[in-house]
């Protein structure tokens, strides 16, 4: 019989469609055309040597080989770095001026690099740049929330092949942020404990949905995962804001992020995916009730009319089976 599971962090009810569930190997992307991607493309603005083809550079991290990660302004920004944050009322309707920041993080000089195949230092460099830019953006009083996200593959919404991610700093706290904060605040107010820490404690106790773990982080598929192989990476230490992550923890984060994306790459045939770092709003830098984490959503299924009409999700993969499958994936050394 199908189960309808509750996700206490997102407040979503999810139908685990056991009657129509697929086995994990059925999600492997065997129909994707495998192309040989070169390390350099002369027409790619993000490749090494083409730096003058990008918009203004904001930051770069270098070593003795040259730059390793760059941040540039988004050529087509969703938000403007110029102007003031103002509320505007037009009768019943409300508007906020679209000020903020919209950056592109060029993750590697090579066109064919991917987090799943990078070395540990390269992944750590990306996270260092995320943290540095996050700390800078949080100082802008117009900024109320910061979203770090990556679109990998066309199905996930990427428009350029070269490995990159984005950082958006918004002048409002998005509703999804507020909903998660509300759930976490209520839970803390009624029991005096962090909802995220409790979920992590429960997942570690059962162990059946754990995919990978190290001294500082745990990767697991939630009990009520919204879609097949939907995966979360939680820091073990209670940290509300991503930019408060310590250097040693950041290295552990790089290690587990690389491991998990490699398991997805090799186990599921390099599917498109989105990931996002969910952190506290800038005005709530450190709280007792919010705990930052990273969510990865492989695009191996599609939402349809039921999801749009009900707001509920149908997951055709049992979370426990998905976690077991990813645990078993052997990543080539």
DSSP string across 12-36: EEEEE-TTSPPPGGGGS-TTS----
Tell me which residue of 190, 269, 180 sits closest to 232, measured CA to CA: 180
pTM, to two decimals: 0.95
Binding positions: 44, 47, 111, 162
164 is catalytic: yes
Q: Are 264 and 298 in contact (CB under 8 A)?
A: yes
Tokens, residue 134: 């996050």
Starting at the edge strand found earlier in the chain, the sheet holding 3-7 runs 3-7, 12-16, 313-315
Cα 221 to Cα 16: distance, rounded to the nearest angstrom:
13
**pLDDT by residue (tens digit) across 117-171?**
999 999 999 999 999 999 999 999 999 999 999 999 888 888 889 999 999 999 9
Q: Are 227 and 316 in contact (CB under 8 A)?
A: no
DSSP E strands in the chain: the ranges are 3-7, 12-16, 57-63, 66-73, 87-90, 93-96, 101-106, 145-152, 164-170, 210-213, 217-220, 231-235, 273-278, 293-298, 313-315
Which one is catalytic: 101, 108, 164, 291? 164
Burial of 141 (0-12, 13-18, 19+ CB in 10 A): exposed
- Structural domains in the chain plus CATH codes: 9-328 (3.30.428.10)
Binding positions for Zn(2+): 44, 47, 111, 162
Cα 107 to Cα 110: distance, rounded to the nearest angstrom:
9
Q: Are 323 and 220 in contact (CB under 8 A)?
A: yes
Tell me which residue of 18, 17, 24, 14 sits closest to 224, measured CA to CA: 14
SS3 125: helix
pLDDT by residue, tens only, the chain of 333 residues: 789 999 999 999 999 987 666 666 666 776 655 667 899 999 999 999 999 999 999 999 999 889 999 999 999 999 999 999 999 999 999 999 999 999 999 999 999 999 999 999 999 999 999 999 999 999 999 999 999 999 998 888 888 899 999 999 999 999 999 999 999 999 999 999 999 999 999 999 999 999 999 999 999 999 999 999 999 999 999 999 999 999 999 999 999 999 999 999 999 999 999 999 999 999 988 999 999 999 999 998 887 788 888 889 899 999 999 999 999 999 987
Q: Tell me, what's the pLDDT at 34?
A: 61
DSSP string across 240-296: SSGGG--HHHHHHHHHHHHHHHHHHHHHHTS--EEEEEE---TT-SS-SS---EEEE
Rg (CA), the chain: 20
Tell me which residue of 249, 275, 266 sits closest to 333, measured CA to CA: 266
Burial of 155 (0-12, 13-18, 19+ CB in 10 A): middle
Cα 229 to Cα 213: distance, rounded to the nearest angstrom:
16
Burial of 182 (0-12, 13-18, 19+ CB in 10 A): exposed
- Counting residues of the chain whose pLDDT is more than 90, the rounded percentage is 85
CA 281, 314, 225, 328 torsion-angle sign: negative
Tokens, residue 15: 């139908």
């Amino acid at each position: 019989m199908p189960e309808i599971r509750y996700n206490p962090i997102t407040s979503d009810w999810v139908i685990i469609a056991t009657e129509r569930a697929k086995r994990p190997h059925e999600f492997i992307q065997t129909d994707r055309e495998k192309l040989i991607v070169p390390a350099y493309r002369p027409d790619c603005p993000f490749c090494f040597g083409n730096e003058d083809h990008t918009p203004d550079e904001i930051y770069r991290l270098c070593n003795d080989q040259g730059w390793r990660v760059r941040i540039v302004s988004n050529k087509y920004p969703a938000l403007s770095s110029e102007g003031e944050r103002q509320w505007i009322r037009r009768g019943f309707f409300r508007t906020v001026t679209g000020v903020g920041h919209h950056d592109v993080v060029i993750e590697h000089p090579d066109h064919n690099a991917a987090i799943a195949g990078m070395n540990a230092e390269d992944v750590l460099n990306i996270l260092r740049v995320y943290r540095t830019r996050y700390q800078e953006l949080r100082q802008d009083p117009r900024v109320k929330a910061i979203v770090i996200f990556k679109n990998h593959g066309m199905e996930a919404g990427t428009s350029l092949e070269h490995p990159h991610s984005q950082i958006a700093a918004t002048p409002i706290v998005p509703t999804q942020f507020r909903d998660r904060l509300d759930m976490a605040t209520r839970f803390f107010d009624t029991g005096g404990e962090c909802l995220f820490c409790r979920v992590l404690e429960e997942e570690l106790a059962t162990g059946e949905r754990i995919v990978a773990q190290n001294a500082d982080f745990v990767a697991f598929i939630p009990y009520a995962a919204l879609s097949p192989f939907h995966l979360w990476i939680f820091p073990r230490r209670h940290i509300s804001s991503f930019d408060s992550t310590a250097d040693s923890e950041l290295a552990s984060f790089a290690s587990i992020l690389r491991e998990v994306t490699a398991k997805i790459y090799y186990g599921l045939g390099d599917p498109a995916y989105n990931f996002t770092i969910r952190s506290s709003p800038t005005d709530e830098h450190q709280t007792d009730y919010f705990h930052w984490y990273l969510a990865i959503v492989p695009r191996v299924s599609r939402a349809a009319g039921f999801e749009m009409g009900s707001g509920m999700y149908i997951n055709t993969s049992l979370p426990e089976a998905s976690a077991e499958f990813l645990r078993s994936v052997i990543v080539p050394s």
